[in-house]
Amino acid sequence: MYISSLHLQNFRNYEETQVQFSESSNLILGDNGQGKTNLLEAIFVLCTSKSFRHISDRKLARWGTDEYRISGDFQRDSDASVALALEYRDRKKTLTVNGNLEERISSIIGQVYSVLLSFEDIALVTGPPFERRAFMDLILSTSDRLYFSYLKTYIKVVKQKNRYLSDAARVDTALLAAWNDQIVRTGSYILGKRMELVEFLNRFILEHEEVLKQFSAPLRLEYRPTVKDLSVRSTDEEVRERFDEQLISHMDAELKMGHALYGPHRDDFSFSENKSEIRYFGSVGEARLASIMLKMAQASFYRTVRDVRPIILVDDILLELDNSNRERVLSLFGIDHQILITTTEGTRLTEFFSPDRVFHISNKGKIVWKGMKTPR
């Protein structure tokens, strides 16, 4: 899968620009603040309908405007092409696929796939649990429509239950039971799929130990559900039974605390080396390398589950690694993925990376140089 062209109108710092990408390797050069990341963000938005920066659509519009449009032409691995366009106008976002207006923005799910590697990814290892939950939910929601549907329902019902628990003068056990039934039904599916995903990520990491030579012991991910006594060997029925039992037995605790205490919205996973969590005992470099492995495992998951080669978007992180680690990480990308890498220092990076096409962004977001060789 690859993106052949990208057209931006009033998106971020771009008034209007169009870029034609190589289907293989692309290097985007420019000083900080010139719009390199904004190009990757636009592609990510076309793949997921949302920014990876977790901001409102209004803030994606160019300064002084209140609307934007992003469109792109993609080639799928099946040889079928697809043209996507997202437009934000009058506080409403619309999606067109091959020129046809879609009723729901969620129709974008499964159209095209990308994996973003950015500076903020280190939070997947060292940050708060919601970062890791969001990572799992992104992967599973974009590859499993039922997961996406159940997740929306689960979040909605948990919010309703929390509002009730925080202001319940009298306890309506029938109402709580109705909410808990929905939470168990949708949450059990979410739990099961997350545990399957963590096992997949572990297999990927184990298969690529050569990239992690600086670690003294194998890395291991461990899913930590708030529903007790679960494992990857638990059946769907066992997950539902234990989830239901825990909600019933801890109803008084939830009433006392004023919010839902158990379920996927409170879960986490840890990243450990010889049972020592990297977030507490690892170096910054180790945490960075571990986060990169997670993102490349995400790409492998899409390829295995959806039979697609996602577009790899790399936002100015490779120069943080030493030479040996940079070379090993680049080897993970492979030759059969389209890759777009941003950087401020093209000369240092091209000692290890030979792009097919180079783009140089000047101030004010103008792409003033294009070519097949890296400018020195």
Q: What is the pLDDT of residues 329-351, one digit of tens each?
A: 877 777 789 999 998 887 677 77
Same domain flag for 93 and 132: no
* Cross-strand partners of 297: none
- Which of 307, 335, 352 is a domain's end point? 307
Query: Do strands 339-343 and 25-29 pair parallel, antiparallel, or not at all (unpaired)?
Result: parallel
- The Cα 143–Cα 57 span in angstroms is 23
Q: Are strands 367-371 and 114-117 parallel, antiparallel or unpaired?
A: unpaired
Exposure letters 94-108 (e unless 16+ CB within 10 A, then b):
ebeeeeeeeeeeeeb
Last residue of some domain: 274, 292, 307?
307
Structure tokens at 143: 């590859």
Same domain for 174 and 285? yes
Average pLDDT, integer, range 251-280: 89
Q: How confident is the model at residue 105 (pLDDT cuts 50, 70, 90)?
A: very high
Do 61 and 208 fall into the same domain? no
Please indicate, yes or no, whether residues 194 and 281 belong to a single structural domain of this protein. Answer: yes
CATH number, position 101 = 3.40.50.300
Q: Which of 122-131, 170-179, 287-296, 363-372 has the lowest mean pLDDT?
A: 363-372
Residue type, 73: D
- Give the DSSP H or E segment for 313: strand 311-315
Say if residue 295 is in the same domain as residue 147.
yes
Residue burial 266-299, b: 16+ Cβ < 10 Å; e: rest: bbebbbbbeeeebbeebeeebbbbbbbbbbbbbb
Burial class (CB in 10 A: 0-12, 13-18, 19+), 83: middle
Angstrom distance (rounded) from CA 27 to CA 314 = 10
Radius of gyration of the chain (CA): 22
Asked if 118 and 315 touch (Cβ cutoff 8 Å), the reply is: yes
Residues 12 and 73 reside in one and the same domain: yes
pLDDT at 217: 61
For residue 161, the enclosing domain spans: 121-307
350: which 2 tokens? Answer: 């091209």
Q: What amino acid occupies position 201?
A: L
Query: Which amino acid is residue 53, in one-letter code?
Result: R
Confidence at residue 216, expressed as pLDDT on a 0 to 100 scale: 56
CA distances from 202 to 205, 289, 339 (A): 5, 15, 24
- Do 58 and 170 lie in one domain? The reply is no
Order of strands, sheet of 357-361, starting from the edge strand that comes earlier in the sequence: 114-117, 311-315, 339-343, 25-29, 357-361, 367-371
**Environment class of 15 (CB within 10 Å of its CB; exposed 0-12, middle 13-18, buried 19+):** middle
- Banded pLDDT at 375 (limits 50, 70, 90): very low
The string of pLDDT tens digits covering residues 291-333 is 998 999 999 999 999 999 999 999 988 877 877 778 778 777 7
| Span of 37-41, 57-61, 141-145, 281-285 with lowest mean pLDDT | 281-285
Domain count, the chain: 2
Output the domain CATH number for residue 137. Answer: 1.20.1050.90
Same domain, 159 and 255: yes
d(CA 97, CA 100): 5
Q: Do both 175 and 192 map to the same domain?
A: yes
**DSSP annotation of 81:** E
Same domain, 109 and 61: yes
pLDDT computed for residue 319 by the predictor: 76
CB atoms within 10 A of CB 319: 12
Residues 56 and 141 in one domain: no
Residues 198 and 285 both lie in one domain = yes
Which of these three, 247, 280, 307, is where a domain ends?
A: 307
Question: Is 254 in contact with 89 (CB distance < 8 Å)?
Answer: no
CA distance 37 to 55: 15
Residue 333 is predicted with a pLDDT of 77
Token look-up 């890395």 returns 219
Among 139, 155, 78, smallest CA distance to 294 is for 139
